[in-house]
Amino acid sequence: MPQTSTDLTHIPALVARQKQWIAQGHSRDVDVRRQQIRRLLSAVEAAEGDLLEAMQQDLAKPATEAWLTDIGTVLEEGEHVLKNLRQWMRPRKAATPWMHSPSSAYQLPEPYGVVAVIGPWNYPVSMLLVPTIGALAAGNAVIIKPSEFVPYTNAVLGRLITDTFPVEEVAWLPGAIPETTALLSEPLDYIFFTGSPAVGRIVMQAAARHLTPVTLELGGKSPVILDEHVDLEVATRRIVWGKCLNAGQTCVAPDYLLVHRKVKAEALAWMQRHLRDFFGPDPQQSPDFGRIIHDRHVARLAGLIEGQIVTGGQVDVADRYVAPTLIEVDNPETHPAMQEEIFGPILPIIPYDRLEEAIRFINARPKPLALYVFTTRSRVRQAVIERTSSGSVCVNDLVVQVGLSDLPFGGVGESGMGSYHGQRSFDTFSHLKSVMRRNFLADAPGRFAPYRVPLALLKPLIRWLG
């Protein structure tokens, strides 16, 4: 299906039109924001069938998986925002010291203005619309730039957005690199990008030209530590599910498994059994296993499959299929699957003997977007949480931490900057303007020149009163 392109000459006019709408102050009304979000949720619900079919065409996503991770996520986030928006918009009081009495101070959330939401292809509905909901909740106008690699989903989403919103409120900007480049060259007020670290650097460089603030939701090699003190059947079932979700094309998917040597053989046996239970003897024939986004990614993933293959390894370029693959890795420093984020259904497995080895291995690499540990021992759990750095940690499960509206989601270091979901989304897309108000009743003694109070007396007095 061809990707619709946008005339680049329209982009400056679009940004200017949205800035004008923001300047008129319409979006400062809480009821306007709530109405926008309700319209969006209603449109998503009405288009549910078309969106599910489109994601199946683009990514071979099973309907249940697509609804849970894309459509359901959007609806849940929207309802959460509607429930709490009035409270989030209230001024936030701040204390004032005695020397400024009588006075009051507070922070007032206000919109940034025009927000660009640049989204990925792997979760083409939720990773565009969840940040859009946050931007609308904060009173911004939004330009949505989708990935060009999901044309069927874009066709449905594009109609949904253009039928639901005038372009000065929310605009749909299809296209590829030229459109993204043209958009980033404009004086935007905020940029929200989800994608790879390589493209994140390009976005940040473009934002620097206008000193535009950014949120970068990137990725990285998210590790799993599998302790020997654990329910192996449950743990391995969750690991296999998290790895195979969306055919491994998930930014918080487990990228490699550090398994205690004592339980490695049993863990591998359980994972092979779960793969058969999930997808049958031939996952390529299963309606519940997705496909890789395009041929180039299939070829890249095929190049990562080498060494001691426990199961899987099959690749069908014509079908964009890469089998769920478990690989035992003897030398992680040189194995190709350990040199980059995999973003596919390949899981390198690395044994360790002591927890210290696993922690040291993780800390020697860039900070991941997510980190997972399976253990029944509090000592192990706390050591991993306290002695590693990652965007998030999930104990005894995978991926599910991303679905909590009250838990901010974001990266650190190479895996990104900034976070969103729930109130954090509202704060991300709001400028918290500091406001202080005084009256004309009095000023603190000694405030104005000529200064007569000795500093030796003034300092302890201020400390005592303050």
The residues carrying an active-site annotation are: 217, 251
CA distance 143 to 399: 28
Phi, psi of 185, deg, nearest 5: -80, -10
**SS3 of residue 253 by DSSP:** coil
Evaluate whether 406 touches 389 at the Cβ level (below 8 Å).
no
Token couple for 87: 């409270």
CA distance 340 to 349: 15
CA distance 243 to 266: 18
Evaluate whether 378 touches 232 at the Cβ level (below 8 Å).
no
CA distance 358 to 31: 51
CA angle 331, 335, 338 (to 5 degrees): 105
- The conformation of residue 27, written as its DSSP 8-state character, comes to G
- The conformation of residue 119, written as its DSSP 8-state character, comes to -
Q: Radius of gyration over alpha carbons of the chain, in Å?
A: 25
CA distance 187 to 207: 9
Going by DSSP bridges, is the β-strand pair 325-328/308-311 parallel, antiparallel, or unpaired?
A: antiparallel
Sheet containing strand 325-328, edge to edge, reads 308-311, 325-328, 346-352, 256-260, 223-226, 370-374, 392-395
Q: How many other C-beta atoms can be found within 10 angstroms of the C-beta atom of residue 335?
A: 18
96, with CB counted inside 10 A (0-12, 13-18, 19+), is middle
| Residue burial 33-69, b: 16+ Cβ < 10 Å; e: rest | bbebbebbbebbeebeebbbebbbebbbbbbebbbeb
Amino acid letter at 318? A
CA distance 331 to 72: 41
Cα atoms in the 13 Å half-sphere on the side-chain side of 348: 26
Sheet containing strand 114-118, edge to edge, reads 170-172, 141-145, 114-118, 190-194, 214-217, 416-417
